[in-house]
Amino acid sequence: MALLLNADLGESWYDRRIGNDAGLMPYLDLCNIACGMHGGDALTMRRTIELAKLHDVRIGAHPSFPDRKNFGRVEMDLPLPRLEALILYQVSALQGMVRAIAGEDLYHIKPHGALYHYANRHEELARGIARIATQLRVPYLMGPPTGELRRAAERAGLAFLAEGFADRRYTPDLTLQSRSAPNACIDTIKEAAAQAKLLAAGQVRAMDGITYPLQIKTLCIHGDHAGAVERAQAIRVALAAATPPR
């Protein structure tokens, strides 16, 4: 099956511009829209939904820790009931707007940043996110190929979108290299396209130079990274070349 291309969008807020959503959206199959905690605001959410609808891109919620200061990329020590309620609040808000504007339901939930990795390590939180998806009739969860998010989705009877990254480097244990480490991100178009093509073949080359198996269904491009549109163009070409004709 051809990989679905996704990106984290709608992360601007008020006068602060993050990424180029209009340039990136035409290359996507799925988009993950920020819900107002790490990025986004009501008007940005609305405009991003309208843009996705225009390009026939399926919409997912991208909830996060309530942390604009660090763009949701630092873990916060919050009690589980409070954190689950914050996620429910974010996804419900976007679900309501998607229904009102696009006349459809959300397609998936993908936690953002630190919440993505935190939920994938913590069974109870992952179960809570799956419960929210069930309550709001969201059929898919998106997350790393292995971990608690996948297990929670399977237990809840939800479909799971195992995700890989074209613009991030992997450690030998097949987790993402920490952003605090050197060379965590892939900035060149050529290298991102090469990684996308390798991931489409079910493999990834880690930072130790060894190629490991990694089965994914969707490939992410970070919309807040400079040059995201150009990488998306090159990745589309690479994926088309990697997919045999029917």
Mean pLDDT, consecutive 10-residue segments, the chain of 246 residues?
91 93 97 97 98 98 97 96 98 98 97 97 98 98 98 98 95 90 88 94 95 97 87 92 60
Task: Identify the CATH number of the domain in which residue 63 sits.
Answer: 3.20.20.370
92-150 per-position pLDDT tens digit:
999 999 999 999 999 999 999 999 999 999 999 999 999 999 999 999 999 999 999 99
Supply the pTM of this predicted model. Answer: 0.95
Strand duo 30-34 + 4-9: pairing: parallel
| Distance (Å, whole) CA 58 – CA 140 | 11
Domain extent for 111? 4-242
- Asked if 172 and 213 touch (Cβ cutoff 8 Å), the reply is no
Q: Tokens for 230?
A: 């150009």
Q: How far is CA 144 from CA 53, 153, 242, in A?
A: 26, 12, 22
Rounded percentage of the chain residues whose pLDDT exceeds 90 = 88
* Number of domains observed in the structure of the chain: 1
According to the model, what pLDDT value does residue 193 have?
Answer: 94
According to the model, what pLDDT value does residue 1 have?
Answer: 57
